[in-house]
Amino acid sequence: MSRAPRQLPSLPPPNQATNFKARLVLLNRDVVLTEQTPQEFATEHELHLFTEDSVAVNREIVFRVETFEPTESFNPAKPYKTRLKWRDFGGGEQSKLLLTPPETVIAELLGAKEELAKAPKRPARRAGRGRSGSRRMEAFRS
C-alpha cells in the first residue's frame, strides 16, 4: 500500500498562488515580488512614486532622465516618453521606460531631492556644557 507524501504545514499547497501586487526591480535589475501595492510599498519605504507608471524610485539614487524616441528596431506598444537611467553596483548602466513626460520626471525628482535635503537627517545635538563641566559635576559644586 503506497501513501501519498504529506505536505509540510508551513508551506502553501503547490497550486495556490500568492497574492502578489507589485514587482520590485533592484539596482541590478533583479526582481522581487511583494504583496503590497506600489503605493503602500512606496509610502512605507519613503520612495518617490510616479503614479502614471506605478513606479517608485529611491530618492537617494542618482538618475539620468532622457526623452525616449522609438526606433525602427525598438518600437514598443506603449507610448513611452521617458527613459530613466542609473548605474548598478558593478558600474553597469540600467534603465526603465516611463509613460510620464521627462519634464515631469525631472521636476518630481528634483522636488523629492529638495524635500530630502530639507528634512534633518538626525536631531540636532544639544549644546555642550563647555568649561563648566557635565551635569554630574554641577551636582558636586556648592
pLDDT, tens only, 40-57 = 999 999 888 998 998 889
Residue type, 69: E
State residue 103's pLDDT score. Answer: 95
State residue 5's pLDDT score. Answer: 47
State residue 116's pLDDT score. Answer: 54
Gap between the Cα atoms of 102 and 110, Å rounded = 12
94-109 burial: b if 16+ Cβ within 10 Å, else e = eebebebebeebeebb
Q: Judge whether 129 and 119 are in contact, CB under 8 Å.
A: no
State residue 74's pLDDT score. Answer: 94
105 phi, psi to nearest 5 deg: -60, -45
Residues of the chain where predicted confidence (pLDDT) is lower than 50: 2, 4-11
Number of residues that make up the chain: 142
Q: Judge whether 56 and 49 are in contact, CB under 8 Å.
A: yes
